[in-house]
A and B are shown apart, each in its own frame.
Chain A
């Protein structure tokens, strides 16, 4: 294994070659906020929260998919990045219908936590109040599109870990949404194994256990990591 050295937030960080900037930064003690990224799933750089500044590159780069390189000088925080991250969160909030007070995930929501972390006390952008539906056709789980931020964790976990590929992304632009099967009601999709991994990894209250009331949903993405590690190493975790 080759070791490379780079500078992140003024600190010298050594990491294995092939590591992403996100892995290197976290190993070096820099906290980069993420939302679509989840250890154990392939990175997609969809949410743009992990953008960082790299010397010599005028464009910002998503840390989750950018390979660390020898001698790189990286900044994970700056006024420009702070402004950008806050705007990303504001866009996510204004694009859907997020009513925390009555949400199943209230108090255990990654989007809510990030809003606090980036200092979003209000949105400077207008709310769009889209008309979206709720799918309760599955016997165990529900999907509230109002709360979906299209991070695609559910799509990836189902395809990459469960191997069922129930979820996908359909339509475009403002009509873009998560679909199950061939855009069927979730309950009508035979491929679904009822495993619930999509619910566990969902960062908001979009996917939930039916019957859960306000504040009752706690996602457990760490269970996914245990599972993935066990598969990679073989045998019991």
Chain B
């Protein structure tokens, strides 16, 4: 593509060709106003993954296996949401051991997903600085700077993965969680093995916390204020006693001042408070809090939202960290850079939760599956995925064949916050009408705060390169950069 070079007025092409297996681009467009200032920026997700139509006409009992394949990074989240929706179609209360086992798997999942996000994708930004050589500002630069940190990220991920594998069998896609419970009780010897590994995992999490807190207080002072720091609503699950929750409880929505707008709401009633807007430039749907409209009603979900929403986590180590977080960022923390800190705190909460569950004799129950036939024709299941609240909504016919499916995913709910974050970063760092490396690095890092999982929401088989376009006030393309 030929585009004019703003410096020489000669057409020039800034294209870095992406390599194999590319189907879609995550596109970011930055629009300038007449004064050359950033007017708005948008994060577009351009290809739609047709899973919702794919499911129609299938028995609802297959939904767990189908939706678990949406994503290779977090199959557990869809598995649990599908199983919970299935429980409600059967209208059963699942055996207590089954709920504990599902909770155990979700904690392992959140733990390993956060480990990938923090240790491998994001920490190079913080440790190596924005203006360092982009070829080195990645996990390999991190190896040179702090190999132990990189190794410990892998250990933490292995820990979570191995626990998930041990619970669900080698093939996690085979749908271990089913409507009515789970397929197999806790395996012999797993408890002792996992408990034996926990001290090392706590040490890893706490070292990372100490490191990141120190960076937040020093080097990252500016980013703290610029990376998605704006008031917004937050939504997520909260336990009935105000505790941090990831599997049950009710929906809570708070505003930036901490006022509770919605509390204890059953997921069945989500449609009474949440509507989904569709924008012509993105295939992601934009859910928002109905009473306030699409703009003011946009909310954030995920680790930071969960910590903002709860009164306390309910486990000692994580609660100490939560208090520290609130000392740094206030009762409702509004800067998205804090998502990283929230992730680390949640890792601690997950480890403590895993410990408590394994020490609970109830988890060793042998009855783990309730059997029933279809007793409800419509149901909504919800769980907290690592990235935020995940809704599955099915309507079935009298025999249990799927008639309609709606999935509300975390990345969609954070979509507007990602746009605002990119806008904020572009306003701060755009230097004239030129997409500098430093800007691109920060835009990427701004989006990484939300750890968006694009394979979940879109049609990407493998890597998704980033395409950033800068538009002038007249709508003309000024510059384009692509990163594979």
Residues of A within 8 A of B (CB): 101-102, 104, 106, 133-137, 139, 142, 144, 187, 210-216
Contacts and interface: CB of A to CB of B under 8 A. Distances in A.
Contacts of B59: 134, 136, 142, 144, 210
A133 B174 CA distance: 23
Nearest to A133: B57
Contact of A212 (B57, B61, B173): B61
Interface residues of B, number: 22
B373 A101 contact: no
A136 B399 contact: yes
B176 to A, nearest CB: 9
A101 B58 CA distance: 14
B66 A102 contact: yes
B400 A210 contact: yes
A104 B178 CA distance: 13
A102 B59 CA distance: 11
B142 to A, nearest CB: 36
A85 B401 CA distance: 35
Given A101-B69, A210-B59, 7 more contacts: A102-B69, A106-B174, A139-B373, A213-B62, A213-B175, A214-B175, A216-B183
23 contacts: A101-B65, A102-B62, A102-B65, A102-B69, A133-B57, A136-B59, A136-B399, A136-B400, A137-B399, A210-B61, A210-B400, A211-B179, A211-B371, A211-B372, A212-B61, A213-B62, A213-B64, A213-B175, A213-B178, A214-B64, A215-B174, A215-B175, A216-B183
Contact of B62 (A137, A139, A187, A214): A214
A214 B58 CA distance: 12
B461 to A, nearest CB: 16
Interface string B378-417: 0000000000000000000001110000000000000000
Contacts of B58: 102, 134
B399 A214 contact: no
Nearest to B180: A211
Pick from B57, B58, B174, B183 the residue with the most CB of A within 10 Å.
Answer: B174
A150 B110 CA distance: 46
A86 B62 CA distance: 29
Q: Give the residue among A102, A104, A137 with the most B Cβ atoms within 10 A.
A: A102
Contacts of B399: 135-137, 142, 187
Nearest to B67: A102
A217 B106 CA distance: 26
Nearest to A142: B59
Choose among A101, A142, A212, A214 the residue with the greatest number of B CB atoms under 10 Å from its CB: A214
B61 A213 contact: yes
Contacts of A142: 59, 399
A133 B69 CA distance: 23
A142 B179 CA distance: 16
B400 A213 contact: no
Interface in B231-266: none
